[in-house]
């Protein structure tokens, strides 16, 4: 359920804003009441300013655990596109990158609270930078304790399909009235297909605990297609499987921008990290990281 947990809050806000008008349409923060600044935060946050990071020679990055192709551990080594992008940031700062692999919380608010500005109730620690934070102009009004910066890629919902089953091109959601499709359970793709008018697609939706398992079912011929984030589909696509991005009618938010989360008290670090991302986008290093993993880099909105 990790895909939904991280995206539900900002995507739900975007859906709401899409149907609102007046001041909200022009200024997503217009009706927001400022929150009290956090007090008595965890002691381990001390020493996370930029000068201390450079003096000690390393910085901590929070990345999601067991989440290929974005971040995972293999034989004790950190791997994934978020890991490689984090290394670019650390290199620009002039320090070593260290990784704190974290589990997804109940929602994005909890992830940011536990990993960026306060710390978990039991165990764990806050990190200097959190990777793979969905950016949304309305959501950032609600979480003042975090600076949302360093937008490095976009993500988009797509469809993977068995080329032998669809010789004339990839399917659209309407095909799944008759054809089987795999999704990650309780993901936004699952919600979208399940809410298709009249529940017409429900009999043909096959749900799996992870997107990797959904793609494995497609590879095994158990389903005809799979729907989910583009990078996860491309990562899991083997021979005879293609991926396309058809128009998704009625999808409130089928794409989003990904960036970094940094504690609001350490803005110089957030500025430096954002510059490092900008340079790496301009000279093609981030695109090259995606290509190394066999993935398409979708440019972010910055």
Q: What distance in Å separates the CA atoms of residue 210 and residue 110, rounded to the nearest whole number?
A: 21
What residue spans define the domains of the chain? 2-14+43-154+256-292, 156-244
pLDDT at 66: 94
Q: Which CATH class is domain 2-14+43-154+256-292?
A: alpha beta
* Cα angle value 41/45/49 (rounded, 5°): 130
pLDDT at 18: 39
Please give the structure tokens belonging to residue 142. Answer: 């609600």
pLDDT at 13: 37
Q: What is the mean pLDDT of each run of 10 residues along the chain (302 residues)?
A: 44 39 56 62 62 94 96 96 98 97 90 90 85 89 91 97 95 96 96 91 97 97 97 96 93 89 94 98 98 97 88
Contact 166, 157 (CB under 8 A): no
* Cα angle value 53/59/60 (rounded, 5°): 140
Do 2-14+43-154+256-292 and 156-244 show the same overall fold? yes
Q: In whole angstroms, how far apart are CA 85 and each of 37, 160, 199, 284, 290?
A: 30, 26, 40, 12, 10
Q: pTM for the full model? A: 0.86
pLDDT at 34: 66
Q: Where are the strands (E) in 93-145, listed by range?
A: 96-102, 129-135
Q: Which CATH class is domain 156-244?
A: alpha beta
Phi/psi of residue 2, each to 5°?
A: -65, -35
Alpha helices per DSSP H over 57-175: 81-93, 108-112, 139-142
């Amino acid at each position: 359920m990790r895909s939904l947990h991280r995206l539900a809050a900002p995507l739900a806000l975007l859906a709401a804003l899409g149907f609102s008008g007046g001041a909200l349409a022009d200024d997503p923060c217009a009706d927001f009441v400022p929150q009290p600044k956090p007090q008595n935060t965890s002691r381990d946050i001390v020493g996370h300013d930029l000068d201390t990071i450079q003096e000690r020679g390393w910085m901590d990055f929070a990345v999601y655990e067991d989440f290929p192709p974005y971040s995972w551990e293999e034989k004790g080594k950190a791997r994934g596109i978020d890991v490689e992008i984090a290394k670019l940031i650390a290199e620009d700062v002039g320090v070593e990158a260290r990784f704190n692999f974290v589990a997804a919380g109940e929602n994005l608010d909890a992830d940011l609270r536990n990993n960026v500005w306060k710390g978990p109730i039991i165990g764990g620690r806050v990190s200097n930078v959190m990777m793979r934070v969905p950016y949304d102009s309305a959501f950032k009004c609600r979480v003042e304790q975090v600076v949302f910066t360093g937008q490095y890629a976009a993500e988009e919902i797509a469809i993977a399909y068995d080329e032998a089953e669809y010789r004339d091109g990839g399917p659209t959601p309407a095909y799944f009235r008759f054809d089987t499709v795999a999704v990650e359970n309780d993901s936004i793709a699952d919600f979208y297909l399940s809410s298709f008018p009249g529940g017409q697609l429900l009999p043909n939706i096959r749900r799996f605990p992870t997107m990797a398992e959904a793609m494995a079912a497609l590879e095994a011929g158990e389903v005809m297609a799979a729907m989910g984030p583009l990078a996860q589909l491309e990562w899991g696509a083997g021979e005879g499987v293609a991926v396309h991005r058809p128009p998704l009618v009625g999808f409130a938010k089928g794409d989003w921008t990904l960036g970094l989360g940094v504690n609001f008290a350490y803005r110089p670090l957030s500025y430096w990290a954002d510059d490092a991302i900008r340079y790496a986008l301009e000279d093609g290093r981030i695109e090259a990281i995606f290509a190394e993993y066999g993935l398409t880099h979708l440019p972010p909105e910055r």
